[in-house]
């Protein structure tokens, strides 16, 4: 019964979306307050209805209702409860339902808390949200219904890919979708602004926190995926420029650019058209990401044709949403004239450079990701565009960005001078030399990528701290005075410092792990020892063990350094009988300068000898820590008063572009 209740709720949500997509628009056009207020009620109703639908599906997974097709295909009665629940979104149908749930929640939150917004802007933004929801509800109900029953019911389910049965990956899709769908808010505001023909500082102040929320979630989502790849796939890699990864990385790049261009709109009333355009592009790339991953088009253009209903539907949806928005932009965009002027060497100039490089990077990743598809469609031949291409393109674009990132925040608004800013960065230059010298003395493998990364990380980290020191007058005022200034610093400024410093730390991690990873592959009998990066590993033997839905071989290693014990590592190789798959569970011992990483492979002889892989992944922890600092920076910035309550009310009289408020 609950399954039908969920199905019915979703249909009802479709109808509510239709109401929310039309009546408030009419209300905003006629300036009719009552009609506009329909949006609020409808958005909250949608949130509840989709919430019921999603809860019904989660319930079906939790109780293992094998009369539901989706549960049979993706679950199994033996799975631990966490993975029964995460299995809800570990498949196509369920993940699309999660997608619309998040969309409905964002809409509901906007309706509930958006009290300070001008009613017409809010009504229009919610109407745009409703149209997006309408398209996706139709997609789910017509082509990907998770509530479909199976007659007769199955005895048990087929299980979930064991690689996905992992805490990191259980929460990877929800965060990713919170990011993707979060950008729909910026998109809806952009479309609403185009309809109104008006973008101003207040508009940017509403868009910034929503974009920041989406950015924080997407950052977490992408990193969870990378972290999972690092510890689960078993060779210490974390990024492969895989099309699925690129699909999530493109909206991140565009969203990061949007985050910065919205600042220029807010502070200086410039780059308005560009910011609106970027909001459309960012969400467009989020949709493309969903499409690329969900349509099967990535495996092969021909796989797309295997299930044409879904692929064609979502492609049509994509074309309508993106094409329609660009058409609207082409029509209304030119009227969005900015007032603020600035020189290339200025804070705005720095932010524009950021936008230039990030957008080009996003475009290059897009070309690289889609090129094999287009190539195959046109010539029917196949080519691969892999890491060598992306590294060759991406690194030269990011290096100048990182150099400029330390300089930009030191420049004044409107017009500035480069030399005082550069003079303040002498400490950063010293840090670059120092770090390069230290790395030189430590490594035997001269990797240009590694040195470049470390130097850039040092430059950016120290440059960011120089900016902070300047703000709080560190060493130029008494220390108590500086501390007081630090406490009074606007949260958004502190957030920027944290986010930029976090990126610097993450870059150091990427460079270290990318350039100086050490790997040893060998057969080890119990008692054998291997020394990797100064750590001595002794294989103590392997025992069979079992988990709730798998059997495993667990190898034990003791690690010593200069005779002193460091850690005991237990690596597993698991076999999942239901899914007929094996996974490796690497044993990882993180240290400040790198992770000790051990993987156990097949048994080689009867005497208990096993294939073992032992890695030293230098600085990899810095990558995770750096991202954590970036995310904290985003959250701190989000807590800024001005983002929460400061969204100012526009002067009543000129809110509606000439139309006077009804009184």
Partner 1 sequence: MAWLAPSLAVEPDEVLADPTLESRARGISQGLRCLVCQNQSIDDSDAELARDLRLLVRERLVAGDDDQQVIDYIVSRYGDFVLLKPPFKLATLALWAAPAVILLVAGVAVFLYYRQSATAGGAEAAPAPLSQAEQQRLETILRDRDVSS
CB of 127 to partner 1, least distance (A): 32
| 562 burial level (CB within 10 Å; 0-12, 13-18, 19+) | exposed
- Is there a contact between 298 and 288 (Cβ–Cβ < 8 Å)? no
| 655 burial level (CB within 10 Å; 0-12, 13-18, 19+) | buried
Nearer to partner 1 (CB atom), residue 100 or residue 513: 513
Nearer to partner 1 (CB atom), residue 44 or residue 385: 385
Buried b (16+ CB within 10 A) or exposed e, 75-91: bbebbeeebbbbbbbbb
Nearer to partner 1 (CB atom), residue 41 or residue 376: 376
Nearer to partner 1 (CB atom), residue 385 or residue 489: 385
CB of 587 to partner 1, least distance (A): 14
CB of 367 to partner 1, least distance (A): 4
CB of 325 to partner 1, least distance (A): 20
Taking CA 238 as the corner, what is the angle to CA 234 and CA 240, rounded to the nearest 5 degrees? 105
564: enclosing H helix or E strand: strand 564-576
- CA torsion angle 291 296 297 300 (round to 10): 170
CB count in 10 Å sphere of residue 379: 9
CB of 210 to partner 1, least distance (A): 26
Task: Indicate the angle between helix axes 426-442 and 448-471, nearest 10 degrees.
Answer: 150
CB of 331 to partner 1, least distance (A): 20
CA dist., res. 40 & res. 192, Å (int): 16
CB of 582 to partner 1, least distance (A): 5
- CA torsion angle 189 194 196 200 (round to 10): 70
Nearer to partner 1 (CB atom), residue 381 or residue 544: 381
CB of 525 to partner 1, least distance (A): 12
Nearer to partner 1 (CB atom), residue 319 or residue 392: 392
CB of 66 to partner 1, least distance (A): 23
Nearer to partner 1 (CB atom), residue 382 or residue 476: 382
CA dist., res. 156 & res. 78, Å (int): 9
Nearer to partner 1 (CB atom), residue 348 or residue 640: 348
- Is there a contact between 247 and 289 (Cβ–Cβ < 8 Å)? yes
Nearer to partner 1 (CB atom), residue 522 or residue 649: 522
CB of 546 to partner 1, least distance (A): 17
Which residues, in sequence order, are CB contacts of 439 under 8 Å at separation 6+?
A: 450, 451, 454
CB count in 10 Å sphere of residue 232: 18
Nearer to partner 1 (CB atom), residue 303 or residue 316: 303
Residue ranges binding partner 1 (CB under 8 A) = 234-235, 237, 240-244, 298-299, 341-344, 352, 356, 359-360, 363-364, 367-368, 371, 375, 379, 381-389, 392-393, 397, 521-523, 575, 580-584, 599, 601-602, 611, 613
Q: Residue 391 corresponds to which tokens in the numbers above?
A: 């590294």
The DSSP annotation for 94-118 comes to HHHHHHHHHHHHHHHHHHHHGGGS-
């Amino acid at each position: 019964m609950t399954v039908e209740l969920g199905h019915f709720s979703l249909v009802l949500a479709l109808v509510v979306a239709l109401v929310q997509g039309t009546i408030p628009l009419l209300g905003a056009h006629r300036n009719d307050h009552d009609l506009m207020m329909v949006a609020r009620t409808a958005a909250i109703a949608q949130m509840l209805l989709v919430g019921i639908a999603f809860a019904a599906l989660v319930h079906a997974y939790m109780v293992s209702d094998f009369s539901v097709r989706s549960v049979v295909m993706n679950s199994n009665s033996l799975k631990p409860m966490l993975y029964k629940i995460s299995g809800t979104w570990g498949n196509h149908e369920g993940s699309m339902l999660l997608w619309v749930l998040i969309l409905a929640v964002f809409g509901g939150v906007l309706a509930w808390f958006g009290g300070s917004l001008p009613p017409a802007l809010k009504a229009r933004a919610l109407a745009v949200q409703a149209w997006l929801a309408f398209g996706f509800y139709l997609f789910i109900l017509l082509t990907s219904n998770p509530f479909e029953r199976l007659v007769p019911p199955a005895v048990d389910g087929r299980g979930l890919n064991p690689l996905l049965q992992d805490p990191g990956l259980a929460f990877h899709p929800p965060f990713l979708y919170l990011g993707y769908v979060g950008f729909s808010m910026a998109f809806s505001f952009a479309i609403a602004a185009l309809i109104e023909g008006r973008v101003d500082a207040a508009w940017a102040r509403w868009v910034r926190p929503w974009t920041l929320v989406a950015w924080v979630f997407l950052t977490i989502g992408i990193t969870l995926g990378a972290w999972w790849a690092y510890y689960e796939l078993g060779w210490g890699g974390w990024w492969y420029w895989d099309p699925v990864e690129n699909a999530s990385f493109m909206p991140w790049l565009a969203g990061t650019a949007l985050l910065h261009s919205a600042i220029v709109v807010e502070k200086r009333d410039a780059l308005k058209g560009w910011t609106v355009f970027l909001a459309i592009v960012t969400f467009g790339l989020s949709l493309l990401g969903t499409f690329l991953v969900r349509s099967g088009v990535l495996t092969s253009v021909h796989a797309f044709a295997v299930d044409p209903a879904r692929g064609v539907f979502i492609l049509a949806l994509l074309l309508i949403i993106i094409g329609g928005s660009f058409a609207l932009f082409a029509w209304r965009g030119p009227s969005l004239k900015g007032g603020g002027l600035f020189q290339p060497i200025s804070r705005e100039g720095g932010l524009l450079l950021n936008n230039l490089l990030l957008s080009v990077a996003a475009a290059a990743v897009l070309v690289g990701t889609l090129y094999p598809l287009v190539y195959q469609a046109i010539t029917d031949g196949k080519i691969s565009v892999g890491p060598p291409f992306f590294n060759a393109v991406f690194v030269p674009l990011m290096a100048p960005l990182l150099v400029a990132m330390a300089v930009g925040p030191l420049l004044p608004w409107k017009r500035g001078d480069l030399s005082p800013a550069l003079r303040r960065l002498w400490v950063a230059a010293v840090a670059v030399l120092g770090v390069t010298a230290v790395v030189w003395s430590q490594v035997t493998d001269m990797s240009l990528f590694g040195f470049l990364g470390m130097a850039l990380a040092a430059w950016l980290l120290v440059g960011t701290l120089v900016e902070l020191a300047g703000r709080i007058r560190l060493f130029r005022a008494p220390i108590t005075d500086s501390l007081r200034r630090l406490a009074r610093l606007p949260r958004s400024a502190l957030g920027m410092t944290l986010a930029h410093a976090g990126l610097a730390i993450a870059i150091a991690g990427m460079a270290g792990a990318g350039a100086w990873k050490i790997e040893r592959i060998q057969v080890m009998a119990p008692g054998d020892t291997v020394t990797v990066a100064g750590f001595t590993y002794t294989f103590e033997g392997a025992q069979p063990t079992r988990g709730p839905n798998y059997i495993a071989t667990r190898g034990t290693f003791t690690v010593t350094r200069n005779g002193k014990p460091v850690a005991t590592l237990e690596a597993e190789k698991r076999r999942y009988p239901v899914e007929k798959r094996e996974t490796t569970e690497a044993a990882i011992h993180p240290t400040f300068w790198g992770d000790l990483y051990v993987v156990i492979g097949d048994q080689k002889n009867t005497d208990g000898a096993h294939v073992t892989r032992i890695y030293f992944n230098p600085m990899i922890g810095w990558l995770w820590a750096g991202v954590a600092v970036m995310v904290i920076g985003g959250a701190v910035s989000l807590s800024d008063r001005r983002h929460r309550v400061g969204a100012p009310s526009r002067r009543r009289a000129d809110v509606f572009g000439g139309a006077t408020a009804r009184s």
